[in-house]
Amino acid sequence: MKKIVSMFMAAAMVMSLGACGSSDAGQQAGSSQGGGEDGVTTIKLMMSQTQEPGVSAAVEAFNKAYEGKYVCEADYLAFDNVFETLEILMSSQSSEYDVFAADGPNIAAYAQRGYLTPLTDYFTTEEVEMFTPPMQVEAFYNGEMYGAPMGDSSLVLYYNTALLEQAGIDYDFSALNGENRITWEELVKIAEQAQSKLDPDGSKGIFGIEFQQVGRTYQMNVLANDFGGENIGADGFTVDGVFNGEPWQKALNWYQDQVDAGVFTKGINASDTSSYFMSGKIIFYLGTTAMPGTFDSNGFTDYGYTYVPCFEGYENEVTTSCGSWTVGINPYSEKTEAAVEFIKYLCLYDGSDVYIDVSGMVPAVSRQFTDELLAAKPYLEIAQYEGANTALVRAITPGFNEYATAVNALWENVRNGADPAQAAEDCISELNTAFMEYR
């Protein structure tokens, strides 16, 4: 019922927007590239509220830099409403928004549905290569560029320094680097050793290891990837032979064993893991590079960080999470020239610097990993290395939403005791059915 009400509200909003814009439709059509009566072209941006601080600062800078030529007006929607509103806008072929936010893994779906204008002809090869390697992958689908990455994300292994000290464990994490990581096997041993000292009977509820986004494909899939497993077949649809293949089955069984042993948590939601880590209930915590901001705002200082682990014998297979929001052009927009100018400003040039500075995101542009940035946020050295060497984008498929729902359930079912082989088969069956509409 909530979703129905939400969609009715979104539909009403679209109708209202269309009505408001209808009176000057002729003027807009006549000024699609050349500006209105005052020579200024106004473009409208739809963006997630999660990105408002950084984007609003970049929009302000854009409007000042292009004063007298272009103006960008931005609307910020709640995260979930972005997706629903976009579906309604595109189904009605609305030109209300010229540029809109497209979550990175949804680019394939939007491209296939015709929701995005190809950007390939507007970006030079040199401009595309300004993005980091994984963000170049995320921006393209079937050989065409559809979204320009605003920023990126990366995975880091955090550890509670106070708990390790209390447990009498002295491990030189500073000696680790991208070429010399701690293994998952060694990490489990240290975690179990610390648990035996800190919480021998389990009464304090101290766990050894946990993912920030437990039960979610964005981070959990690295376990399967670390054994050499793919996220999905090269065609964007094949999952039979993936989830029931050896790498995934190794990962699912290993994970379940650690949950059963009490090393990983059980029953804790992704929204609560950071609170557990900061309150001393989790020793090792795999989270994004955004976490230090959360730690600092909560006065939590008992933490260190290092590179994501690898499995013994699979050191060359290690992968890390990446990806974030991109922006694309509405195919029904009449202001493509101005929209392209804004996107380049926001994602490649001066506006990109403003956005990264205010948002705190990992840069999606290689040049932004400056000595100044790394000195202020040294943990971004890890993100810089991973982005160049280990970062793997999420499954590239037009059915990503269905994929994420099914794979999230796969990880959660295994966490709760389901047989990994049967859980994988159930996931495969569900996705084979879901993907039928896209084939």
Looking only at the bridges linking them, the beta strands covering 155-160 and 148-149 are unpaired
Mean pLDDT of 52-76: 97
Q: What is the pLDDT of residues 95-143, one digit of tens each?
A: 999 999 999 999 999 999 999 999 999 999 999 999 999 999 999 999 9
Q: What is the pLDDT of residues 258-299, one digit of tens each?
A: 999 999 999 999 999 999 999 999 999 999 999 999 999 999
| Phi, psi torsion values for 399, nearest 5 degrees | -100, 40
Gyration radius from the chain CA atoms: 23
Residue 4: pLDDT above 90? no
Place of tokens 């090869």: 125
CA 183 to chain CA centroid, nearest Å: 25
Angstrom distance (rounded) from CA 384 to CA 374: 9
Computed over every residue of the chain, the mean pLDDT equals: 92
Residue 8: pLDDT above 90? no
pLDDT of residue 10: 45
Confidence tier at 80 by pLDDT (50, 70, 90)? confident
Length in residues, the chain: 439
Confidence tier at 37 by pLDDT (50, 70, 90)? low
Angstrom distance (rounded) from CA 20 to CA 28: 13
| Phi, psi torsion values for 47, nearest 5 degrees | -135, 155
Looking only at the bridges linking them, the beta strands covering 140-141 and 144-145 are antiparallel
pLDDT of residue 127: 98
Element (H, E) at 306: strand 303-306
What are the structure tokens assigned to 210, written together? 């946990």
Mean pLDDT of 141-160: 97
Element (H, E) at 275: helix 273-278
From the list 173, 184, 195, the residue with the least C-alpha distance to 265 is 195
CA distances to 76, 278, 403 from 399, rounded to whole Å, are 25, 36, 6
Q: What is the pLDDT of residues 294-347, one digit of tens each?
A: 999 999 999 999 999 999 999 999 999 999 999 999 999 999 999 999 999 999
Residue 70: pLDDT above 60? yes
- Strand ranges (DSSP E) for 78-193? 99-103, 140-141, 144-145, 148-149, 155-160
pTM of the predicted protein model: 0.89
On whether the CB atoms of residues 288 and 155 are closer than 8 A, the answer is yes
